[in-house]
Structure 1
Amino acid sequence: MKKDIKIPQVKNVHVAVVQEQHLEYKTQDWNAYIINNSDNDLETVLIVSRGYNDKKLTPVMRHTIAKLPARSYAKIEYLQEKVLELNNEFKITYFEDNQMFDKTYVFRQNTINENALQTIPLMQLKGVLVK
């Protein structure tokens, strides 16, 4: 029965971690974003995130976005510096035209750093992208 369930491949939806200036505290913060680079709105976006390695595991965080318009992005969460030493996983499930999509994005440990910064599509900011 499991083989009969068809979940289509996710395209044009990404997760990025961007380094941004925090205006109040005058610090450089790392923030995770979901990017909808498609021509369709995403509905009921569910995001489950966690950090982990062989010895450590962060608490699971859950986020919901009712609607993410086409060609837009939304902030998921702030990432503390210590969490960047872990694998950071974002499981994303959403509906597009009444069809369910699901994908897991993983930033491997220590891959979120200033040396890995690149221009992120739609945002025109520097960050680390997982497709």
Structure 2
Amino acid sequence: MTTHNRRRTIAGALMSAGLAVAGLGLSVGTAEAGTPPGGPFSWCPGDPPVETGNKRVNPVRWDEGICHEYWFVYHEQGNVAQNIWDGPNPPGPPPSMGFAPPPPLPPGWCWAMFLPGPCPPGVVGPRLG
């Protein structure tokens, strides 16, 4: 195997590893997020019950004689069910639900086309600090 082919093989393996790590990071954030907030929705007497994910354990408790404007919110943020907010101004996402930047690159690595990889000759990696 020539030196050029070895370099291409190593570069391909590093790119695959970088994609795998990036994919794991994205899947963890997605799984943690759960049902995203949304609304406003409306419910009036005679409408079917609001879906909370489990109406037996997490029922909506509000006055069933009037119409309501409600929002889906993150778990444990609701005021009429664990994930349902009745009224205007629902709470924002919890602090842990925001964008998390990727971890820092090891020394000698650079970002290239959104993928981490070894820096080209003569280029110094990202500065730390």
- TM-score, normalisation: structure 2: 0.21
User: Normalized per residue, which structure has more helix?
Assistant: 2
Larger Rg: 2
User: Normalized per residue, which structure has more strand?
Assistant: 1
Higher relative contact order (CA 8 A, sep 6+): 1
- TM-score, normalisation: structure 1: 0.21
